Structure 1
Amino acid sequence: MQRQQIEDLAALLTGPSGTEGTTRRTALKAALGAGYAAAAAPLMAQTAIRTPSDGLTVGEVMIDVAGFSMPAYRAAPAGRTGLPVVLVLSEIFGVHEYIADTARRFARAGYLAIAPELFIRQGDPQSYGEMARLIAEVIAKVPDAQVMGDLDATVRWAGANGGDVSKLAVTGFCWGGRQTWLYAAHNPQVKAAVAWYGRLVGQTSELNPRHPVDVAGALKAPVLGLYGGADTGIPLDTVEAMKKALAAGSPAARQSGFVVYPEAPHAFHADYRPSFRAEPAQDGWNRALAWFRQHGAG
Protein backbone atom coordinates (compact mmCIF):
# COMPACT_ATOMS: atom_id res chain seq x y z
CA MET A 1 0.00 0.00 0.00
CA GLN A 2 1.40 3.43 -0.95
CA ARG A 3 1.90 6.18 1.65
CA GLN A 4 -0.98 8.21 0.19
CA GLN A 5 -3.30 5.22 0.51
CA ILE A 6 -2.31 4.83 4.16
CA GLU A 7 -2.96 8.50 4.83
CA ASP A 8 -6.30 8.35 3.01
CA LEU A 9 -7.38 5.31 4.99
CA ALA A 10 -6.38 6.92 8.27
CA ALA A 11 -8.41 10.01 7.36
CA LEU A 12 -11.40 7.88 6.41
CA LEU A 13 -11.37 6.05 9.73
CA THR A 14 -10.60 8.94 12.05
CA GLY A 15 -12.86 11.50 10.43
CA PRO A 16 -12.36 15.25 10.52
CA SER A 17 -12.58 15.54 14.30
CA GLY A 18 -9.59 13.27 15.00
CA THR A 19 -11.37 11.75 18.02
CA GLU A 20 -11.60 8.19 16.73
CA GLY A 21 -8.31 7.14 18.29
CA THR A 22 -9.68 7.64 21.80
CA THR A 23 -12.77 5.59 21.06
CA ARG A 24 -10.69 2.85 19.51
CA ARG A 25 -8.12 2.67 22.27
CA THR A 26 -10.99 1.84 24.59
CA ALA A 27 -12.66 -0.62 22.23
CA LEU A 28 -9.44 -2.43 21.36
CA LYS A 29 -8.95 -3.47 24.99
CA ALA A 30 -11.78 -5.93 24.58
CA ALA A 31 -11.02 -9.60 24.06
CA LEU A 32 -12.67 -11.67 21.35
CA GLY A 33 -16.37 -11.90 22.15
CA ALA A 34 -15.93 -10.84 25.80
CA GLY A 35 -15.13 -7.89 27.98
CA TYR A 36 -16.28 -5.27 25.51
CA ALA A 37 -19.24 -3.94 27.47
CA ALA A 38 -17.12 -2.88 30.43
CA ALA A 39 -14.39 -1.39 28.27
CA ALA A 40 -16.67 0.60 26.01
CA ALA A 41 -19.39 1.53 28.49
CA PRO A 42 -18.02 4.97 29.48
CA LEU A 43 -18.06 6.13 25.86
CA MET A 44 -20.81 4.28 24.05
CA ALA A 45 -23.08 2.73 26.69
CA GLN A 46 -26.18 4.40 25.24
CA THR A 47 -25.76 3.04 21.73
CA ALA A 48 -23.92 -0.29 22.02
CA ILE A 49 -26.10 -3.27 21.06
CA ARG A 50 -25.73 -6.49 23.02
CA THR A 51 -26.98 -9.69 21.39
CA PRO A 52 -27.33 -12.58 23.86
CA SER A 53 -25.76 -15.93 23.14
CA ASP A 54 -28.37 -18.14 24.79
CA GLY A 55 -29.53 -20.80 22.35
CA LEU A 56 -26.41 -20.25 20.25
CA THR A 57 -23.09 -21.98 19.90
CA VAL A 58 -20.50 -19.21 20.03
CA GLY A 59 -16.80 -18.73 20.49
CA GLU A 60 -13.41 -19.05 18.86
CA VAL A 61 -12.59 -21.79 16.38
CA MET A 62 -9.35 -22.50 14.53
CA ILE A 63 -9.38 -22.82 10.76
CA ASP A 64 -6.59 -24.58 8.89
CA VAL A 65 -5.17 -22.56 5.98
CA ALA A 66 -2.50 -24.71 4.34
CA GLY A 67 -1.05 -25.62 7.72
CA PHE A 68 -1.56 -22.21 9.34
CA SER A 69 -4.13 -22.03 12.16
CA MET A 70 -6.31 -18.96 11.72
CA PRO A 71 -8.64 -18.01 14.57
CA ALA A 72 -12.23 -17.03 13.84
CA TYR A 73 -15.34 -16.20 15.81
CA ARG A 74 -18.24 -18.55 15.13
CA ALA A 75 -21.90 -18.10 16.06
CA ALA A 76 -24.71 -20.49 15.08
CA PRO A 77 -28.03 -21.80 16.37
CA ALA A 78 -27.17 -24.54 18.83
CA GLY A 79 -27.66 -28.14 17.73
CA ARG A 80 -28.53 -27.35 14.13
CA THR A 81 -26.81 -28.30 10.87
CA GLY A 82 -27.44 -27.53 7.22
CA LEU A 83 -27.35 -23.82 8.04
CA PRO A 84 -26.86 -21.07 5.48
CA VAL A 85 -23.41 -19.55 5.90
CA VAL A 86 -22.41 -15.90 6.16
CA LEU A 87 -18.81 -14.69 6.31
CA VAL A 88 -18.52 -11.50 8.40
CA LEU A 89 -15.51 -9.39 7.40
CA SER A 90 -14.28 -6.89 9.95
CA GLU A 91 -13.05 -3.35 9.82
CA ILE A 92 -9.30 -2.85 10.22
CA PHE A 93 -9.63 -3.36 13.96
CA GLY A 94 -10.18 -7.08 13.70
CA VAL A 95 -12.74 -9.30 15.36
CA HIS A 96 -13.53 -7.35 18.50
CA GLU A 97 -16.90 -7.45 20.21
CA TYR A 98 -18.84 -5.38 17.67
CA ILE A 99 -18.01 -7.89 14.93
CA ALA A 100 -18.69 -10.83 17.27
CA ASP A 101 -22.04 -9.30 18.16
CA THR A 102 -22.87 -8.87 14.48
CA ALA A 103 -22.12 -12.57 13.99
CA ARG A 104 -24.52 -13.39 16.84
CA ARG A 105 -27.21 -11.30 15.17
CA PHE A 106 -26.82 -13.38 12.02
CA ALA A 107 -26.92 -16.56 14.11
CA ARG A 108 -30.23 -15.44 15.60
CA ALA A 109 -31.46 -15.04 12.01
CA GLY A 110 -30.60 -18.70 11.38
CA TYR A 111 -27.06 -18.47 9.96
CA LEU A 112 -23.76 -20.09 10.69
CA ALA A 113 -21.81 -16.84 10.91
CA ILE A 114 -18.02 -16.84 10.86
CA ALA A 115 -15.74 -13.84 11.35
CA PRO A 116 -12.13 -14.81 10.56
CA GLU A 117 -9.12 -12.92 11.91
CA LEU A 118 -7.81 -11.84 8.53
CA PHE A 119 -4.88 -9.78 9.87
CA ILE A 120 -3.46 -12.39 12.22
CA ARG A 121 -0.33 -13.17 10.19
CA GLN A 122 0.68 -9.52 10.13
CA GLY A 123 -0.28 -8.67 13.72
CA ASP A 124 -3.06 -8.28 16.27
CA PRO A 125 -5.07 -5.11 15.62
CA GLN A 126 -6.40 -5.15 19.17
CA SER A 127 -2.89 -4.66 20.54
CA TYR A 128 -2.54 -1.26 18.84
CA GLY A 129 -3.64 1.99 20.39
CA GLU A 130 -2.23 4.22 17.66
CA MET A 131 -4.06 4.37 14.36
CA ALA A 132 -1.10 5.26 12.16
CA ARG A 133 1.02 2.38 13.49
CA LEU A 134 -1.83 -0.10 13.07
CA ILE A 135 -2.32 0.87 9.45
CA ALA A 136 1.37 1.00 8.57
CA GLU A 137 2.52 -2.07 10.49
CA VAL A 138 -0.44 -4.41 9.97
CA ILE A 139 -3.14 -3.38 7.52
CA ALA A 140 -0.85 -2.11 4.77
CA LYS A 141 0.97 -5.46 4.74
CA VAL A 142 -2.06 -7.71 4.16
CA PRO A 143 -2.21 -8.97 0.53
CA ASP A 144 -5.61 -9.27 -1.08
CA ALA A 145 -4.60 -12.72 -2.33
CA GLN A 146 -4.01 -13.83 1.26
CA VAL A 147 -7.48 -12.63 2.23
CA MET A 148 -9.09 -14.51 -0.63
CA GLY A 149 -7.30 -17.71 0.38
CA ASP A 150 -8.25 -17.29 4.03
CA LEU A 151 -11.89 -16.81 3.08
CA ASP A 152 -11.80 -19.89 0.86
CA ALA A 153 -10.50 -21.88 3.84
CA THR A 154 -13.25 -20.42 6.02
CA VAL A 155 -15.87 -21.61 3.55
CA ARG A 156 -14.37 -25.10 3.60
CA TRP A 157 -14.45 -25.11 7.39
CA ALA A 158 -18.09 -24.03 7.36
CA GLY A 159 -19.02 -26.83 5.01
CA ALA A 160 -17.43 -29.38 7.35
CA ASN A 161 -18.97 -27.91 10.50
CA GLY A 162 -22.70 -27.62 10.04
CA GLY A 163 -22.93 -25.13 7.20
CA ASP A 164 -24.62 -25.46 3.84
CA VAL A 165 -22.18 -23.72 1.51
CA SER A 166 -24.67 -23.89 -1.34
CA LYS A 167 -26.25 -20.98 0.59
CA LEU A 168 -23.16 -18.84 1.03
CA ALA A 169 -23.26 -15.12 1.78
CA VAL A 170 -20.55 -12.60 2.62
CA THR A 171 -20.77 -9.19 4.24
CA GLY A 172 -18.16 -6.74 5.48
CA PHE A 173 -17.64 -3.30 6.94
CA CYS A 174 -15.22 -0.59 5.73
CA TRP A 175 -12.00 -2.56 4.98
CA GLY A 176 -14.17 -5.68 5.01
CA GLY A 177 -16.65 -4.00 2.67
CA ARG A 178 -13.94 -3.62 0.05
CA GLN A 179 -12.98 -7.26 0.50
CA THR A 180 -16.63 -8.25 0.15
CA TRP A 181 -16.69 -6.86 -3.40
CA LEU A 182 -13.44 -8.64 -4.21
CA TYR A 183 -14.61 -11.96 -2.81
CA ALA A 184 -17.87 -11.81 -4.76
CA ALA A 185 -15.70 -11.67 -7.89
CA HIS A 186 -13.34 -14.39 -6.63
CA ASN A 187 -15.52 -17.28 -5.43
CA PRO A 188 -18.33 -18.66 -7.62
CA GLN A 189 -19.80 -20.36 -4.54
CA VAL A 190 -20.99 -17.02 -3.17
CA LYS A 191 -24.70 -16.52 -3.73
CA ALA A 192 -25.07 -12.97 -2.41
CA ALA A 193 -22.98 -10.25 -0.78
CA VAL A 194 -23.56 -7.01 1.10
CA ALA A 195 -20.77 -4.42 1.31
CA TRP A 196 -21.06 -1.73 3.97
CA TYR A 197 -19.18 1.45 2.98
CA GLY A 198 -16.17 -0.30 1.49
CA ARG A 199 -13.87 1.73 -0.72
CA LEU A 200 -14.45 1.20 -4.43
CA VAL A 201 -11.40 2.77 -6.08
CA GLY A 202 -7.76 3.30 -5.20
CA GLN A 203 -4.16 3.09 -6.24
CA THR A 204 -2.96 -0.34 -7.26
CA SER A 205 0.04 -2.08 -5.77
CA GLU A 206 1.61 -5.52 -5.59
CA LEU A 207 -0.50 -6.37 -2.55
CA ASN A 208 -3.65 -4.66 -3.83
CA PRO A 209 -3.56 -5.20 -7.60
CA ARG A 210 -7.26 -4.56 -8.16
CA HIS A 211 -10.04 -2.66 -6.49
CA PRO A 212 -13.81 -3.22 -6.58
CA VAL A 213 -14.31 -1.00 -9.62
CA ASP A 214 -11.74 -3.12 -11.47
CA VAL A 215 -13.57 -6.41 -10.78
CA ALA A 216 -17.13 -5.08 -10.99
CA GLY A 217 -17.77 -6.55 -14.39
CA ALA A 218 -16.69 -10.02 -13.27
CA LEU A 219 -18.85 -10.40 -10.17
CA LYS A 220 -20.03 -13.96 -9.63
CA ALA A 221 -22.70 -13.00 -7.12
CA PRO A 222 -24.89 -9.91 -6.82
CA VAL A 223 -23.66 -7.35 -4.31
CA LEU A 224 -25.71 -4.78 -2.44
CA GLY A 225 -23.67 -1.73 -1.47
CA LEU A 226 -24.81 0.20 1.61
CA TYR A 227 -23.17 3.63 1.69
CA GLY A 228 -23.47 6.99 3.40
CA GLY A 229 -24.11 10.15 1.49
CA ALA A 230 -22.18 12.09 4.15
CA ASP A 231 -19.19 9.75 4.05
CA THR A 232 -16.26 12.12 3.53
CA GLY A 233 -13.89 9.28 2.65
CA ILE A 234 -15.93 7.69 -0.13
CA PRO A 235 -17.02 10.33 -2.65
CA LEU A 236 -20.33 9.68 -4.33
CA ASP A 237 -18.70 9.99 -7.73
CA THR A 238 -16.90 6.71 -6.98
CA VAL A 239 -20.28 5.12 -6.31
CA GLU A 240 -21.45 6.40 -9.69
CA ALA A 241 -18.34 5.01 -11.36
CA MET A 242 -19.04 1.65 -9.76
CA LYS A 243 -22.64 1.71 -10.96
CA LYS A 244 -21.46 2.23 -14.54
CA ALA A 245 -18.99 -0.64 -14.27
CA LEU A 246 -21.70 -2.92 -12.88
CA ALA A 247 -24.15 -2.02 -15.63
CA ALA A 248 -21.67 -3.18 -18.27
CA GLY A 249 -20.69 -6.38 -16.50
CA SER A 250 -21.77 -9.95 -15.81
CA PRO A 251 -25.36 -10.97 -15.01
CA ALA A 252 -24.49 -10.87 -11.30
CA ALA A 253 -22.97 -7.42 -11.75
CA ARG A 254 -26.12 -6.15 -13.42
CA GLN A 255 -28.20 -7.48 -10.51
CA SER A 256 -26.05 -5.56 -8.05
CA GLY A 257 -26.97 -2.16 -6.68
CA PHE A 258 -26.59 0.51 -4.04
CA VAL A 259 -28.56 2.12 -1.27
CA VAL A 260 -27.11 5.49 -0.27
CA TYR A 261 -28.38 7.02 2.97
CA PRO A 262 -28.11 10.78 2.34
CA GLU A 263 -27.32 11.95 5.87
CA ALA A 264 -25.31 8.93 7.03
CA PRO A 265 -21.54 9.19 7.63
CA HIS A 266 -18.97 6.47 7.27
CA ALA A 267 -19.39 3.54 9.70
CA PHE A 268 -23.05 4.26 10.33
CA HIS A 269 -23.66 0.62 11.32
CA ALA A 270 -20.93 0.58 13.99
CA ASP A 271 -23.05 0.99 17.13
CA TYR A 272 -20.05 1.52 19.41
CA ARG A 273 -18.83 4.59 17.49
CA PRO A 274 -20.08 8.19 17.35
CA SER A 275 -20.77 7.63 13.64
CA PHE A 276 -23.60 5.20 14.46
CA ARG A 277 -26.97 6.08 12.96
CA ALA A 278 -29.74 3.83 14.19
CA GLU A 279 -32.24 4.23 11.35
CA PRO A 280 -29.94 3.55 8.37
CA ALA A 281 -28.19 0.83 10.37
CA GLN A 282 -31.46 -1.00 10.98
CA ASP A 283 -32.72 -0.40 7.46
CA GLY A 284 -29.44 -1.68 6.04
CA TRP A 285 -29.61 -4.77 8.25
CA ASN A 286 -33.13 -5.55 7.07
CA ARG A 287 -32.09 -5.06 3.46
CA ALA A 288 -29.05 -7.31 3.93
CA LEU A 289 -31.15 -10.20 5.23
CA ALA A 290 -33.71 -9.71 2.46
CA TRP A 291 -30.93 -9.55 -0.15
CA PHE A 292 -29.49 -12.84 1.03
CA ARG A 293 -32.88 -14.54 0.92
CA GLN A 294 -33.68 -13.09 -2.50
CA HIS A 295 -30.51 -14.52 -4.01
CA GLY A 296 -30.52 -17.96 -2.41
CA ALA A 297 -28.31 -17.39 0.61
CA GLY A 298 -30.90 -17.57 3.34
Structure 2
Amino acid sequence: MVMASFWEKVSVDGSEMDMYASVPSSSAGFTAPFPAVVVAQHGGGVDEFIRTICDRLAAEGFAAVAPNLYHRISDDVLNGDPRPRPWDVLSDPHIVADIGATVDWLRNHEAIRGDRIGVTGFCMGGRVAWLAAASNPHFAAVAPYYGGNLLVTWGDGATPPFELAGNINCPMLFHFGEVDENPSQVDMRNFDEELNRLGKEHQFYVYREADHAFMDFTGPRYQKEAADRSWPRTLEFFGQHLKA
Protein backbone atom coordinates (compact mmCIF):
# COMPACT_ATOMS: atom_id res chain seq x y z
CA MET A 1 0.00 0.00 0.00
CA VAL A 2 1.17 3.51 -0.81
CA MET A 3 0.41 5.93 2.02
CA ALA A 4 1.99 7.66 5.00
CA SER A 5 0.96 7.03 8.61
CA PHE A 6 1.70 8.77 11.89
CA TRP A 7 0.37 9.41 15.39
CA GLU A 8 -1.19 12.75 16.23
CA LYS A 9 -2.46 14.30 19.47
CA VAL A 10 -5.63 16.34 19.78
CA SER A 11 -7.04 18.14 22.80
CA VAL A 12 -10.35 17.00 24.27
CA ASP A 13 -11.77 18.73 27.32
CA GLY A 14 -8.31 19.83 28.38
CA SER A 15 -6.64 16.44 27.99
CA GLU A 16 -4.68 14.85 25.14
CA MET A 17 -6.04 12.07 22.95
CA ASP A 18 -3.80 9.97 20.71
CA MET A 19 -5.03 9.46 17.17
CA TYR A 20 -3.63 7.24 14.42
CA ALA A 21 -3.68 8.90 11.01
CA SER A 22 -2.99 7.52 7.56
CA VAL A 23 -2.95 9.73 4.48
CA PRO A 24 -2.81 9.10 0.72
CA SER A 25 0.48 9.44 -1.10
CA SER A 26 1.08 11.80 -3.99
CA SER A 27 3.19 9.07 -5.61
CA ALA A 28 -0.04 7.07 -5.95
CA GLY A 29 -1.64 9.95 -7.83
CA PHE A 30 -3.62 11.47 -4.95
CA THR A 31 -3.57 15.20 -4.28
CA ALA A 32 -4.81 17.22 -1.33
CA PRO A 33 -7.29 18.20 -0.12
CA PHE A 34 -8.49 14.66 0.59
CA PRO A 35 -11.86 13.30 1.65
CA ALA A 36 -11.57 11.77 5.12
CA VAL A 37 -12.94 8.86 7.14
CA VAL A 38 -13.01 8.57 10.92
CA VAL A 39 -12.42 4.94 11.93
CA ALA A 40 -13.99 4.07 15.27
CA GLN A 41 -12.06 1.40 17.16
CA HIS A 42 -13.31 -1.97 18.31
CA GLY A 43 -12.88 -3.33 21.83
CA GLY A 44 -9.19 -3.98 21.25
CA GLY A 45 -8.51 -0.28 20.80
CA VAL A 46 -6.49 1.28 17.98
CA ASP A 47 -4.69 -1.99 17.36
CA GLU A 48 -3.22 -3.67 14.29
CA PHE A 49 -6.64 -4.31 12.77
CA ILE A 50 -7.86 -0.72 13.14
CA ARG A 51 -4.57 0.74 11.93
CA THR A 52 -4.69 -1.57 8.89
CA ILE A 53 -8.19 -0.36 8.07
CA CYS A 54 -6.89 3.22 8.17
CA ASP A 55 -4.01 2.27 5.86
CA ARG A 56 -6.37 0.56 3.43
CA LEU A 57 -8.54 3.64 3.24
CA ALA A 58 -5.50 5.86 2.66
CA ALA A 59 -4.39 3.59 -0.17
CA GLU A 60 -7.75 4.34 -1.82
CA GLY A 61 -7.42 8.11 -1.53
CA PHE A 62 -9.05 8.82 1.83
CA ALA A 63 -7.31 10.40 4.80
CA ALA A 64 -8.21 8.08 7.69
CA VAL A 65 -7.98 8.78 11.41
CA ALA A 66 -8.66 6.52 14.39
CA PRO A 67 -8.99 8.28 17.77
CA ASN A 68 -8.05 6.36 20.92
CA LEU A 69 -11.36 6.36 22.80
CA TYR A 70 -9.63 4.80 25.82
CA HIS A 71 -7.42 7.84 26.43
CA ARG A 72 -9.13 8.72 29.71
CA ILE A 73 -8.57 5.24 31.15
CA SER A 74 -5.36 4.12 32.83
CA ASP A 75 -3.34 1.21 31.45
CA ASP A 76 -3.78 -0.57 34.78
CA VAL A 77 -7.54 -0.57 34.32
CA LEU A 78 -7.42 -1.45 30.61
CA ASN A 79 -5.00 -4.33 31.17
CA GLY A 80 -6.77 -5.62 34.27
CA ASP A 81 -7.69 -9.24 34.77
CA PRO A 82 -10.33 -9.71 33.61
CA ARG A 83 -10.06 -7.03 30.93
CA PRO A 84 -12.93 -4.55 31.32
CA ARG A 85 -15.69 -4.48 28.73
CA PRO A 86 -15.96 -1.25 26.73
CA TRP A 87 -19.33 -0.32 28.23
CA ASP A 88 -17.83 -0.60 31.70
CA VAL A 89 -15.24 2.13 31.07
CA LEU A 90 -16.65 4.34 28.29
CA SER A 91 -19.38 6.97 28.47
CA ASP A 92 -21.47 8.25 25.56
CA PRO A 93 -20.87 11.96 26.29
CA HIS A 94 -17.11 11.33 26.26
CA ILE A 95 -17.39 9.39 22.99
CA VAL A 96 -19.31 12.26 21.40
CA ALA A 97 -16.67 14.73 22.62
CA ASP A 98 -13.82 12.58 21.28
CA ILE A 99 -15.43 12.20 17.87
CA GLY A 100 -16.19 15.92 17.83
CA ALA A 101 -12.55 16.79 18.54
CA THR A 102 -11.44 14.42 15.77
CA VAL A 103 -13.84 15.99 13.28
CA ASP A 104 -12.76 19.49 14.29
CA TRP A 105 -9.12 18.54 13.71
CA LEU A 106 -9.98 17.24 10.27
CA ARG A 107 -12.12 20.22 9.29
CA ASN A 108 -9.40 22.65 10.30
CA HIS A 109 -6.64 20.83 8.41
CA GLU A 110 -5.71 22.35 5.07
CA ALA A 111 -5.16 18.92 3.51
CA ILE A 112 -8.72 17.74 4.26
CA ARG A 113 -12.01 18.44 2.53
CA GLY A 114 -14.06 19.46 5.52
CA ASP A 115 -17.33 18.86 3.70
CA ARG A 116 -16.42 15.27 2.78
CA ILE A 117 -15.95 13.37 6.03
CA GLY A 118 -17.32 9.88 6.65
CA VAL A 119 -17.24 7.53 9.62
CA THR A 120 -16.99 3.76 9.93
CA GLY A 121 -16.41 1.46 12.87
CA PHE A 122 -16.32 -2.16 13.94
CA CYS A 123 -18.11 -3.90 16.82
CA MET A 124 -18.29 -1.17 19.51
CA GLY A 125 -17.01 1.10 16.75
CA GLY A 126 -20.12 0.35 14.71
CA ARG A 127 -22.15 1.65 17.64
CA VAL A 128 -19.83 4.67 17.87
CA ALA A 129 -20.28 5.33 14.13
CA TRP A 130 -24.08 5.41 14.48
CA LEU A 131 -23.80 7.63 17.58
CA ALA A 132 -21.32 9.90 15.78
CA ALA A 133 -23.58 10.40 12.77
CA ALA A 134 -26.51 11.11 15.10
CA SER A 135 -24.62 13.66 17.18
CA ASN A 136 -22.30 15.45 14.75
CA PRO A 137 -23.71 17.28 11.69
CA HIS A 138 -20.48 17.21 9.69
CA PHE A 139 -20.58 13.60 8.48
CA ALA A 140 -21.46 12.97 4.84
CA ALA A 141 -21.65 9.15 5.11
CA VAL A 142 -21.69 6.48 7.85
CA ALA A 143 -20.80 2.79 7.46
CA PRO A 144 -21.15 0.74 10.67
CA TYR A 145 -19.92 -2.85 10.81
CA TYR A 146 -21.95 -5.11 13.15
CA GLY A 147 -22.59 -2.31 15.63
CA GLY A 148 -24.32 -3.73 18.70
CA ASN A 149 -25.67 -2.22 21.92
CA LEU A 150 -27.52 0.48 20.01
CA LEU A 151 -30.54 0.12 22.28
CA VAL A 152 -28.73 1.01 25.50
CA THR A 153 -26.75 3.94 26.86
CA TRP A 154 -23.16 3.75 28.08
CA GLY A 155 -21.94 5.62 31.14
CA ASP A 156 -23.67 8.96 31.55
CA GLY A 157 -25.48 8.73 28.23
CA ALA A 158 -29.05 10.02 28.33
CA THR A 159 -30.46 8.48 25.13
CA PRO A 160 -29.58 5.20 23.35
CA PRO A 161 -28.04 5.71 19.89
CA PHE A 162 -30.98 3.93 18.26
CA GLU A 163 -33.36 6.56 19.59
CA LEU A 164 -31.20 9.29 18.05
CA ALA A 165 -31.69 7.94 14.51
CA GLY A 166 -33.81 10.95 13.60
CA ASN A 167 -30.68 13.11 13.87
CA ILE A 168 -28.77 11.13 11.22
CA ASN A 169 -28.72 13.23 8.07
CA CYS A 170 -26.29 11.32 5.89
CA PRO A 171 -26.53 8.03 3.95
CA MET A 172 -25.84 4.82 5.90
CA LEU A 173 -24.33 1.47 4.86
CA PHE A 174 -24.62 -1.18 7.60
CA HIS A 175 -22.96 -4.63 7.48
CA PHE A 176 -24.42 -7.53 9.51
CA GLY A 177 -23.25 -11.08 10.20
CA GLU A 178 -26.01 -13.61 9.71
CA VAL A 179 -25.29 -15.52 12.94
CA ASP A 180 -24.32 -12.48 15.01
CA GLU A 181 -26.40 -12.12 18.17
CA ASN A 182 -25.60 -8.44 18.81
CA PRO A 183 -26.80 -7.01 16.50
CA SER A 184 -29.09 -9.91 15.66
CA GLN A 185 -31.25 -10.32 12.58
CA VAL A 186 -34.20 -9.16 14.69
CA ASP A 187 -32.22 -6.04 15.60
CA MET A 188 -31.47 -5.47 11.93
CA ARG A 189 -35.14 -5.60 11.00
CA ASN A 190 -35.95 -3.14 13.79
CA PHE A 191 -33.21 -0.78 12.62
CA ASP A 192 -34.47 -1.02 9.05
CA GLU A 193 -38.07 -0.36 10.10
CA GLU A 194 -37.09 2.71 12.13
CA LEU A 195 -34.86 4.20 9.42
CA ASN A 196 -37.62 3.62 6.86
CA ARG A 197 -40.15 5.28 9.17
CA LEU A 198 -37.85 8.28 9.48
CA GLY A 199 -37.13 8.41 5.75
CA LYS A 200 -33.38 7.91 6.25
CA GLU A 201 -31.31 6.74 3.29
CA HIS A 202 -29.71 3.38 4.14
CA GLN A 203 -28.46 0.09 2.75
CA PHE A 204 -28.17 -3.09 4.82
CA TYR A 205 -26.13 -6.15 3.86
CA VAL A 206 -26.15 -9.55 5.57
CA TYR A 207 -23.29 -12.02 5.14
CA ARG A 208 -24.13 -15.74 5.21
CA GLU A 209 -22.81 -17.68 8.21
CA ALA A 210 -20.74 -14.66 9.28
CA ASP A 211 -20.49 -13.91 12.99
CA HIS A 212 -19.70 -10.74 14.88
CA ALA A 213 -16.21 -9.38 14.10
CA PHE A 214 -16.05 -11.08 10.71
CA MET A 215 -13.74 -8.33 9.38
CA ASP A 216 -11.07 -8.70 12.07
CA PHE A 217 -8.31 -10.74 10.44
CA THR A 218 -6.50 -10.93 13.79
CA GLY A 219 -9.40 -12.61 15.60
CA PRO A 220 -11.02 -16.07 15.73
CA ARG A 221 -14.29 -15.02 14.07
CA TYR A 222 -12.72 -13.63 10.92
CA GLN A 223 -14.55 -14.78 7.80
CA LYS A 224 -12.66 -14.02 4.62
CA GLU A 225 -15.65 -14.35 2.30
CA ALA A 226 -17.70 -11.80 4.23
CA ALA A 227 -14.72 -9.47 4.61
CA ASP A 228 -13.88 -9.65 0.91
CA ARG A 229 -17.47 -8.94 -0.10
CA SER A 230 -18.16 -6.13 2.36
CA TRP A 231 -15.01 -4.06 1.94
CA PRO A 232 -15.47 -3.17 -1.76
CA ARG A 233 -19.02 -2.12 -0.93
CA THR A 234 -17.69 0.19 1.77
CA LEU A 235 -15.12 1.71 -0.58
CA GLU A 236 -17.76 2.22 -3.28
CA PHE A 237 -20.11 3.81 -0.74
CA PHE A 238 -17.48 6.24 0.51
CA GLY A 239 -16.34 6.93 -3.01
CA GLN A 240 -19.87 7.86 -4.04
CA HIS A 241 -20.57 10.14 -1.10
CA LEU A 242 -17.13 11.54 -0.22
CA LYS A 243 -15.31 11.80 -3.54
CA ALA A 244 -18.12 13.00 -5.80
Q: TM-score, normalised by structure 2?
A: 0.90
1:111 is the counterpart of 2:58: no
Contact 1:85/1:297 (<8 A) preserved: no
- Cα drift, residue 200 of structure 1: 5.0
User: In the alignment, which of 81, 97, 101 is matched to residue 149 of structure 1?
Assistant: 97
User: Could you give the per-residue CA deviations for residues 1-20 of structure 1, whole angstroms, max 9, x where no partner exists?
Assistant: xxxxxxxxxxxxxxxxxxxx
User: Could you give the per-residue CA deviations for residues 26-83 of structure 1, whole angstroms, max 9, x where no partner exists?
Assistant: xxxxxxxxxxxxxxxxxxxxxxxxxx5xx42212111122432110100002454200
Task: Determine the C-alpha separation between the residues in 1 that align with 2:103 and 2:222.
Answer: 30
Question: What pairs with 1:1-298 in structure 2 (closer than 5 Å)?
Answer: 52=1, 55-78=2-25, 80-124=31-75, 128=79, 130=81, 132-135=82-85, 139-161=87-109, 162-199=111-148, 201-204=150-153, 207-249=156-198, 251=199, 253=200, 255-296=201-242
- Cα drift, residue 141 of structure 1: 2.8
User: Could you give the per-residue CA deviations for residues 194-246 of structure 1, whole angstroms, max 9, x where no partner exists?
Assistant: 00000154344652333332122331212111010111332211111111110
SS of residue paired to 1:121: coil
Gaps of 5+ in 2: none
- Cα drift, residue 155 of structure 1: 1.3
Task: Determine the C-alpha separation between the residues in 2 that align with 1:221 and 1:57.
Answer: 29
- Cα drift, residue 283 of structure 1: 1.4
- Cα drift, residue 112 of structure 1: 0.7
- Cα drift, residue 84 of structure 1: 0.4
With over 3 angstroms needed to count, the CA separation of the structure-2 counterparts of 1:205 and 1:70, relative to structure 1, is closer
Contact 1:169/1:297 (<8 A) preserved: no
Task: Determine the C-alpha separation between the residues in 2 that align with 1:228 and 1:175.
Answer: 14
Task: Determine the C-alpha separation between the residues in 2 that align with 1:126 and 1:88.
Answer: 24
SS of residue paired to 1:153: helix
- Cα drift, residue 178 of structure 1: 0.4
Contact 1:175/1:198 (<8 A) preserved: yes
- Cα drift, residue 126 of structure 1: 10
Specify the code of the residue in structure 2 equivalent to 1:181.
W
Contact 1:63/1:154 (<8 A) preserved: yes
User: Could you give the per-residue CA deviations for residues 166-194 of structure 1, whole angstroms, max 9, x where no partner exists?
Assistant: 11100000001001111111112100010
Specify the code of the residue in structure 2 equivalent to 1:156.
D
Specify the code of the residue in structure 1 equivalent to 2:174.
G
Task: Determine the C-alpha separation between the residues in 1 that align with 2:77 and 2:57.
Answer: 23
User: Could you give the per-residue CA deviations for residues 67-113 of structure 1, whole angstroms, max 9, x where no partner exists?
Assistant: 32110100002454200010000111110111111100000000110
What count of residue pairs does the alignment treat as equivalent?
239
Contact 1:98/1:272 (<8 A) preserved: yes
Task: Determine the C-alpha separation between the residues in 2 that align with 1:291 and 1:86.
Answer: 12
- Cα drift, residue 280 of structure 1: 1.1
SS of residue paired to 1:284: helix
With over 3 angstroms needed to count, the CA separation of the structure-2 counterparts of 1:96 and 1:296, relative to structure 1, is closer
- Cα drift, residue 263 of structure 1: 0.9
Specify the code of the residue in structure 2 equivalent to 1:104.
D
State the match for 1:7 in structure 2.
Answer: none
Task: Determine the C-alpha separation between the residues in 2 that align with 1:263 and 1:189.
Answer: 35
Specify the code of the residue in structure 2 equivalent to 1:280.
A
Q: TM-score, normalised by structure 1?
A: 0.74
Contact 2:22/2:55 (<8 A) preserved: yes
Task: Determine the C-alpha separation between the residues in 2 that align with 1:210 and 1:276.
Answer: 32
Computing the radius of gyration over CA atoms, which structure comes out larger, 1 or 2?
1
Q: Quote the RMSD (CA, aligned, Å).
A: 2.1
Greater shift, 275-284 or 231-240, is seen at 231-240
Task: Determine the C-alpha separation between the residues in 1 that align with 2:118 and 2:228.
Answer: 19
